[in-house]
Amino acid sequence: MSFSILDELGSRAGEKFALHDRYLNPQMVRVLKTIGFDRHYTRAEGAYLFDKTGQRYLDLLSGFGVFAIGRNHPTVKRALADVIAADLPNLVQMDVSPLAGLLAERLLSHLPGQERVFFCNSGTEAVEAAIKLARAATKRAKLVFCEHAFHGLTTGALSLNGDRMFRDGFGPLLADAVPVPWNDLPALEATLRSGDVAAFFVEPIQGKGVNLPADGYLAGAARLCRQHGALFVVDEVQTGLGRTGKFLATDTDAVDADLILLAKALSGGFVPVGAVAGKRWIFDKTFDRMDRAVVHGSTFGKNNLAMAAGLAVLSVLEDEGLMENAARRGESLLRRLQALVARYEMLREVRGRGLMIALEFGPPKALALRAAWSLLEKATKGLFCQMVTIPLFTRHQILTQVAGHEMYVIKLLPPLCLSQEDEDWIVRAFDDVIADCHKFGSAIWDLATTLTGNTLRSSVG
């Protein structure tokens, strides 16, 4: 019998949770079942997922940002199918790839001042590469990163992670990694002054919490790095490729980075890819002799499908005006969600840029609600936000995420093709769910009771 992947999938439909429970990560299955996110999706297109009943969901996670151009984009599908059909040579290894050359050229056309590209397979691999490039170029060891930062979960990148929850239990991590407070130039300067810093790694907008840079912070940090001989490395893995309405988030700040890290959206959501773009002299310090031509790399880096997907994504971003849509749609959505702050005391702030938006919540003043909030937080810090994400999903078919551990922030990271209808859908849904959160005894507080196993009503009512 010949192999058919679709037959195989069809004949086992309905078994995915059991398979994951048995063979992969049963805790993930528990989470999904507990919060009611255990759906059987059968199709995906653009900003939408469809389940087996035909129900449509609006996806505001976009696979943590990889589906910036939307799911299953026809241009990327065609590019991948064409590459496969052409039986091209791939990963010859003792050769150089024409597709990688083309993608490097195309990427650099968006990155004035940058001269070289290194390709890998993920965001965290881009961070690992940048750590090595920075150390080799500067002959220094120390790496500086920001509190609350997220740069990936392999052990080098994890050493630059500002969240204890991710780090705990995996040490010892890199010894020469030093945190500084976000948005604090004097603290950065004090650390750089030691003269032994290889690089400062920074997200232009912090993904965990959607923390925006203060005016002049990134430009100031770049200047300080130059002054003290450290590389200024911007991690645009999440913010890059149009997410904030410009090709790079740092395009707003007019900074000239030494290294720029990209991944996520470049894949089109099909083939994992990462990229480090930067100054020629930095790359030349690492790849400095013929016998060191392969001193850093990875077997699958520059594979044909990843390179073809990247080229297709860059075309789609331009051809469909997605960066412009992210800027315009993001501005409108931000304004409409900000208007809710005046109406709902628990909604403290709505912030963001382009289509990277955070809604931050805080404790209520009304007595009964305040007591219920406290009990909920005693059960698990940050749990309140699940009280919002769950009904957004079950009642309004909107998929969102909490922006990080122990925080009261819900993050929206939708595809950049978001429409007016989607925008209206989001505003209507948040308005409805947040209104319910402000009514003690509403279905949302019943849900809290179920989730915590607490009798919130009898405890505080």
Ligand X SMILES: Cc1ncc(COP(=O)(O)O)c(C=O)c1O
Residues 55-74 close enough to bind ligand X by CB under 6 A: 64
From the candidates 264, 279, 302, 411, give the one annotated as an active-site residue: 264
Single out the residue of 203, 258, 360, 422 in contact with ligand X (rule: CB under 6 A): 203
**Using the rule CB under 6 A, is 207 a contact of ligand X?**
yes
Residue carrying structure tokens 């909490």: 402
Piece of 48-56, 231-239, 314-322, 415-423 that binds ligand X (CB under 6 A): 231-239
191 belongs to the binding site for ligand X (CB under 6 A) = no
> Could you confirm whether 264 is annotated as catalytic?
yes
- The residue count for the chain: 461
Gyration radius from the chain CA atoms: 23
Among 124, 183, 191, 389, binds ligand X (CB under 6 A): 124
Q: In Å, what is the CA distance from 218 to each residue of 184, 223, 252?
A: 10, 9, 10
Q: Does 273 bind ligand X (CB under 6 A)?
A: no
Closest CB to ligand X belongs to which residue?
A: 123
Question: Which lies closer to ligand X via its Cβ, residue 122 or residue 303?
Answer: 122
Window contacting ligand X (CB under 6 A); options: 103-111, 233-241, 277-285, 372-380 = 233-241
- Count of alpha carbons within 13 angstroms of residue 67, beta-carbon side: 24
Q: Of residues 237-266, which lie at the interface with ligand X (CB under 6 A)? A: 237-238, 263
Q: Is 228 left (phi over 0), alpha (psi -120 to 50) or beta?
A: alpha
Q: Which is nearer to ligand X, 402 or 434 (CB)?
A: 402
Site for ligand X in 307-346 (CB under 6 A): none
Candidates 192, 182, 236; CA nearest to 214 is: 182
Answer yes or no: are the C-beta atoms of 273 and 310 closer than 8 Å.
yes
Q: Which residues pair with 356 in a beta bridge?
A: 353
Q: How far apart are the first and last CA of the chain?
A: 64
Binding letters toward ligand X, positions 149-188, x by CB under 6 A: -xxx------------------------------------
Catalytically annotated residue among 235, 251, 253, 258 = 235
Interaction between residue 386 and ligand X (CB under 6 A): no
**According to the binding rule CB under 6 A, does residue 122 interact with ligand X?**
yes
424 is known as an active-site residue: no
What is the spatial distance between Cα 368 and Cα 344, in angstroms, rounded to a whole number? 16
For residues 250, 251, 257, 261, the Cα torsion angle rounded to the nearest 10 degrees is 60
Q: Which residue matches tokens 């004090």?
A: 190
Dihedral Cα 107, 108, 111, 116, nearest 10 deg: 120
Q: Which is catalytic among the residues 150, 283, 430, 440?
A: 150
Provide the annotated active-site residues.
Answer: 150, 235, 264
- Which stretches of the chain bind ligand X, using CB under 6 A? 64, 122-124, 127, 150-152, 203, 207, 235, 237-238, 263
